[in-house]
Chains A and B, each alone.
Chain A
Amino acid sequence: RKEVEQDPGPFNVPEGATVAFNCTYSNSASQSFFWYRQDCRKEPKLLMSVYSSGNEDGRFTAQLNRASQYISLLIRDSKLSDSATYLCVVNVGNYGQNFVFGPGTRLSVLP
C-alpha cells in the first residue's frame, strides 16, 4: 500500500460545481496534513493545512479523520482558476520533517 493515496481523477466539472477530493494515508503516526495546489509547469503551493477539527478557508473545506486515516478537501462554487492538480501531503516526521506527497488529483473546471 502506498503511503499516501488519492482519487486518481481527472475531475472535469462545470463552473459553480462542488467537488470533493479524498486522500488516505498509511502511517498512523503521521502528525500534520496539508493540501497543496500545483499549476501546470509550476511549483506546488500550500492551499491549506488540515486541522484535527476540520477547517474552512473561503470556498475550501478540509477534514481529517485520524481513526480512518482519511483526509478530504471540498471545493464549493468552483472557479475556472481552481483548475490545477491538488496534492495531499502528510508529514510523518517525528524530528525534522518528512513530507510525503500523494500522486495528486487533476481538476479541470469547465466554462
Chain B
Amino acid sequence: DTAVSQTPKYLVTQMGNDKSIKCEQNLGHDTMYWYKQDSKKFLKIMFSYNNKELIINETVPNRFSPKSPDKAHLNLHINSLELGDSAVYFCASSQDKGTSGGIYNEQFFGPGTRLTVL
C-alpha cells in the first residue's frame, strides 16, 4: 500500500551510460515532481508535471528527460551520465489546489533513488 514508490532504490553505473528511474503514486494525485538532493543535502526541484503536462522545468541539463505516460507515473531518463549526477533523486506527488479546494497541499515523497556514477 505504498503511496509513492520508486525503482530502483540504488543505482550504480559508469559515466556515459543511460539510465532510467521509475516513479508511481497510488494517491490519485494529479501533480508529480522530481527532486535532486546533492551531497550537501540541498533539495532542489527539477521537474513538475500536472496531469501529464510539464509545468515546471528548472535549469537542468537536457540529458535529463522526464516522461509521464499517465498521471500516476513520472519516470526520469538520464542520458550520458556524468560524475556530477551522483545524488539522491526523489519523486513526489501532490493534489493540485484547484481540484482539492485548499491551498495546503502537502507533497508525499518516494523513498528516493541513490544514484552513484563512477
Chain A residues within CB distance 8 Å of chain B: 31-32, 34, 42-46, 49, 51, 85, 87, 91, 95-101, 103-104
- Complex Cα distance A62/B27, Å? 27
Q: Which residue of B lies closest to A104 (CB)?
A: B41
B107 touches A99 (CB 8 A): yes
Which of B41, B45, B90, B106 lies in contact with A100, CB distance below 8 A? B45
Interface size on B, as a range, is: 20 to 34
Q: Which of B41, B96, B106 contacts A103 (CB 8 A)?
A: B41
Interface of A is mostly: strand
The docked-state distance in angstroms from the alpha carbon of A99 to that of B104 is 11
- In contact, B41 and A31 (Cβ under 8 angstroms): no
CA distance A51 to B31 in the complex (A): 22
Contact across chains for B106 and A46 when beta carbons are under 8 A apart: yes
Beta-carbon contacts under 8 Å, B34-78 to A = 35, 40-45, 48, 50, 55-56
Given contacts A32-B104, A101-B43, A101-B44, contact A96 B31 (CB under 8 A): yes
